[in-house]
């Protein structure tokens, strides 16, 4: 595999997805809704031209000359297409089961031919063909690319379906997520884009450290989390103490050097560290909204009717994510869903 750094930026191409806690909340539109598996891989731009093919990731790293890409290029040469741009996930597969992102990264970094053979190209969108943007429906694009790659082994369109009922979505989920092991589903329906995983997750930023017992031993055991609205304000979504092991406790202590303000309970820090947090459910809350100021810290704006995470657990840090309204968008929790949480709570008298 050959690698080189380019100045190509693909951030704007990354799909902006909302999070559904279950596929059972999906509103199906007949002949329009498409559900597709989500691979735990690296978001990538896949470029083809008659002269050659390459992939480019979010950091501008171009990759050439690996087995799946070679197979893709050979297949495209037989289509009559002169150039095309597609979106895909590069991920690893072994024994018919998709692997996790760390496995893919390990295989790529190893450079070993036998491990690079396990790298897959999973296409999920077609952007342009011969210099023209593709205007056809999403399902049409998947079918078109599927035809191009029909004889390939290492590159393919990620499995998808056009369900008419929730029962069909459930069957698709059972086959590809529960039995095959894909990370979850991506659903396109009624103009919206959703991701659904076995556990609900959000990407949030740490804005504060709770002064719990071990805080006085230079260890952090609980943090304050926030999302961002489209105005760049921080919407606090609660505390997280689960999943912070001893190593993470020591690492998070370094945030003390970025203190911006504090009170008797919380040491507020610069919004620098993004993490993925898994939760079991949501409950209604009055959430504080802040504007962050480099000089004065977090400035209180108002209280917002929103939700908090039930049983949050820190899964991992996300150095690939930025503290922006795009990566930390509040819409990770769809409005229609949190409004339902409030409606149910009201009906129960809570």
Q: Decide if 239 contacts 256 (C-beta within 8 A).
A: no
- Terminus-to-terminus CA distance in the chain, angstroms? 58
How many Å apart are CA 234 and CA 123, to the nearest integer? 34
Q: How confident is the model over 102-119, as a mean pLDDT?
A: 93
Label residue 338 by pLDDT band (50, 70, 90): low
pLDDT at 162: 96
| Alpha helix (H) residue ranges in 14-137 | 67-76, 101-110, 113-116
- Higher-scoring residue by pLDDT: 310, 63: 63
pLDDT of 78 over the 70 cut: yes
Label residue 336 by pLDDT band (50, 70, 90): low
Label residue 19 by pLDDT band (50, 70, 90): confident
- Higher-scoring residue by pLDDT: 347, 12: 12
pLDDT at 241: 93
Token digits for 158? 């990620």
How many Å apart are CA 6 and CA 120, to the nearest integer? 22
Strand bridging mode 281-293 / 234-240: antiparallel
pLDDT at 148: 98
Q: How confident is the model over 82-91, as a mean pLDDT?
A: 98
Label residue 20 by pLDDT band (50, 70, 90): confident
Label residue 22 by pLDDT band (50, 70, 90): confident
Token digits for 122? 């999973």
- Higher-scoring residue by pLDDT: 271, 195: 271
Q: What is the largest CA-CA distance in the chain?
A: 68
Residue 119's contacts (CB-CB under 8 Å, 6 or more residues apart) are 66, 67, 68, 90, 91, 92, 104, 107, 108, 154
As a whole-number percent, the residues of the chain with pLDDT over 90 amount to 76
Backbone CA torsion sign across 121, 64, 57, 277: positive
Label residue 349 by pLDDT band (50, 70, 90): low
The total number of residues shown for the chain amounts to: 350
pLDDT at 213: 73
pLDDT at 347: 55
pLDDT of 334 over the 80 cut: no
Indicate whether this model's pTM tops 0.85: no
pLDDT tens for each residue of 132-159: 999 999 999 999 999 999 999 999 999 9
Determine the Cα angle at 123 with ends 121 and 128, to 5°: 125
pLDDT of 128 over the 90 cut: yes
In order of their start, the domains of the chain are: 11-33+160-198 (no CATH), 40-157 (3.30.470.30), 200-342 (2.40.50.140)
pLDDT at 174: 93
Q: Which residue has the tokens 């698709």?
A: 172
Burial of 217 by CB count in 10 Å (0-12 exposed, 13-18 middle, 19+ buried)? exposed
Q: How confident is the model over 198-220, as a mean pLDDT?
A: 88
How many Å apart are CA 100 and CA 91, to the nearest integer? 8
Label residue 185 by pLDDT band (50, 70, 90): very high
Helix, strand counts (H, E) of the chain: 7, 23
């Amino acid at each position: 595999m050959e690698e080189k750094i380019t100045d190509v930026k693909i951030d704007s191409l990354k799909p902006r997805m909302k999070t559904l806690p279950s596929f059972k909340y999906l509103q199906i539109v007949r002949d329009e809704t498409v559900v597709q598996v989500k691979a735990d891989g690296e978001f990538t731009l896949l470029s083809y031209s008659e002269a050659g093919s390459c992939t480019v990731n979010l950091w501008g790293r171009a990759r050439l000359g690996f087995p799946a890409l070679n197979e893709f290029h050979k297949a495209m040469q037989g289509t009559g297409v002169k150039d095309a741009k597609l979106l895909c996930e590069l991920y690893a597969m072994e024994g018919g089961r998709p692997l996790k992102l760390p496995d893919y990264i390990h295989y790529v970094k190893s450079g070993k031919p036998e491990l690079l053979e396990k790298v897959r190209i999973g296409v999920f969108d077609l952007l342009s063909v011969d210099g023209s943007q593709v205007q056809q429906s999403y399902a049409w694009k998947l079918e078109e690319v599927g035809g191009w790659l029909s004889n390939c082994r290492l590159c393919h369109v990620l499995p998808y379906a056009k369900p008419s009922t929730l029962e069909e979505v459930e069957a698709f989920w059972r086959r590809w997520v529960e039995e095959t092991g894909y990370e979850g589903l991506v659903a396109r329906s009624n103009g919206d884009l959703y991701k659904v995983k076995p556990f609900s997750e959000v990407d949030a930023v740490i804005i504060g450290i709770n002064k719990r017992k071990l805080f006085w031993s230079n260890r952090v055991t609980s943090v304050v989390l926030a999302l961002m609205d489209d105005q760049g304000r921080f919407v606090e979504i609660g505390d997280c103490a689960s999943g912070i092991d001893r190593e993470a406790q020591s690492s998070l202590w370094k945030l003390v050097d970025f203190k911006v303000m504090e009170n008797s309970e919380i040491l507020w820090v610069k919004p620098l560290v993004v993490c993925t947090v898994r939760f079991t459910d949501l409950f209604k809350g009055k959430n504080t909204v802040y504007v962050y100021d480099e000089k004065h810290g977090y400035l209180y704006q108002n209280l917002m009717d929103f939700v908090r995470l039930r049983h949050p657990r820190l899964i991992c840090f996300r150095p690939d994510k930025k503290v922006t309204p795009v990566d930390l968008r509040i819409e990770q929790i769809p409005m229609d869903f949190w409004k339902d949480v409030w409606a149910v709570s009201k009906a129960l008298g809570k």
